[in-house]
Amino acid sequence: MSELLQYVVTGLTTGSAYALVGLGIALIAQVTGVINFAQGQFVMLAGLLFAVLQEHRVPTVLAALAALAVTVLVGLALERLVLPRQAAGRTDQAIMLTIGASIVIEGIAFVTIGTEPKFARPFTAGEALRFGGASMDRQYLWVIGIAALVMLAVWLVLTHTRTGWAMRATAMDPDAARLSGISPSRMSLLVFLAAAALGAIGGIVLAPLQSPDASVGIGLGLKGFAAAVIGGLDRPAGAVAGGLAVGVVEALASGYLPSSQSGFADGIAYAVLLVALIARPTGLLRRVTGERV
């Protein structure tokens, strides 16, 4: 039981990061119809910048704010690149542009920062916490707690503010939203900025646990995409549930598979995605409805 609890805690921690990535992908897909395959690079970029700034003895709060600001600016640049294609109805080109942007961001990170992993200090120093026979690094609490607060904030914005209502209206019917005085292009900008911020927060809180390097973004993006699809691309809450599920299953597979096969754990997310698509093609949290004709 102690081993199981340890694996679940580890899975919830990494799953929280996947959930933030998946949530960003789901928000952009809902409002613009574009799958942002550069979402994982937001996590990589913010985590790497945060760690580099800490290595130069920049205070933790300032390092986090700087990494967040730079990542949001990159999100702004990506939206300006994608929006004209999406507005012209060339969603396929817009998606390809996000793939190209992902490769470019990774290349720039390799050239400017290097290939070696960087190391960030935990937010809170001290020994690991123990409960139920499991050991939990204090940073785990920061990851899970901050991710939960951010997800709650996104839910409150979407359900209790005019901006959130406008985003949801744009997601439902852009033409009707435009006739109601809502600017779909402005909503597109806002969701890209929000998605970049979500990825940045995930990268910053995860950096002390998993030393970031320039190569981690694509893997994180694909797992976040798997989380979003598993939960339902049109259900932000589903993306969160999918991310947590992927993280826990991945941790259990890594812990219980023989050491010679532990490398297969990275493929677990895609196996879960395949099973979910077969069993629930519409997503875990989406109701299947029928219409009598």
pLDDT, tens digit, for every residue of 97-156?
A: 888 889 999 999 999 888 888 888 888 877 777 776 677 788 888 988 999 999 999 999
- Residue 290 pLDDT greater than 50, yes or no: no
Confidence of residue 293 (pLDDT cuts 50, 70, 90): very low
**Helices within the chain (DSSP H only):** 2-32, 39-55, 60-87, 91-113, 138-160, 162-172, 174-179, 184-206, 216-231, 236-256, 268-279
Which residue is listed with tokens 């960030």? Answer: 120
- Residue 280 pLDDT greater than 70, yes or no: no
The mean pLDDT value for 10-36 works out to: 88
Residue from 177, 288, 230 nearest 26 by CA? 230
Using CA atoms in the order 164, 166, 167, 168, what is the torsion angle rounded to 10 degrees? 90
pTM metric for this prediction: 0.86
Are the CB atoms for 21 and 199 separated by under 8 Å?
yes
Rg (CA), the chain: 19
- Residue 76 pLDDT greater than 70, yes or no: yes
Question: Domain extents for the chain?
Answer: 2-119+136-289
Distance CA 149, CA 147 (A): 5
Please tell me the least confidently modeled range out of 42-46, 145-149, 166-170, 248-252. Answer: 248-252
Distance CA 14, CA 144 (A): 9
2-119+136-289 CATH fold: ABC transporter involved in vitamin B12 uptake, BtuC (1.10.3470)
Question: Who's near 260: CB < 8 A, 6+ residues apart?
Answer: none
Residue 286, both tokens: 């989406």
- Residue 287 pLDDT greater than 60, yes or no: no
Please tell me the least confidently modeled range out of 75-89, 144-158, 206-220, 224-238. Answer: 75-89
- Residue 78 pLDDT greater than 70, yes or no: yes
Instruction: Tell which phi-psi region holds residue 140, choosing left (phi > 0), alpha (psi between -120 and 50) or beta.
Output: alpha
- Residue 262 pLDDT greater than 60, yes or no: no
Angle at which helix 216-231 crosses helix 2-32, to 10 degrees, equals 80
CB atoms within 10 A of CB 62: 11
Are the CB atoms for 207 and 51 separated by under 8 Å?
yes
Residue type, 260: S
Distance CA 101, CA 76 (A): 12
Give the pLDDT of residue 260: 46
Distance CA 240, CA 224 (A): 9
- pLDDT tens digits for range 171-216: 888 888 888 888 888 888 899 999 999 999 999 999 988 888 888 8
Phi then psi for residue 84, to 5 deg, are: -60, -40
Phi then psi for residue 101, to 5 deg, are: -65, -40
CB-based burial of residue 15 (10 Å sphere; 0-12 exposed, 13-18 middle, 19+ buried)? buried
Number of residues written out for the chain: 293
Residue 206, both tokens: 């995860």
Are the CB atoms for 272 and 249 separated by under 8 Å?
yes
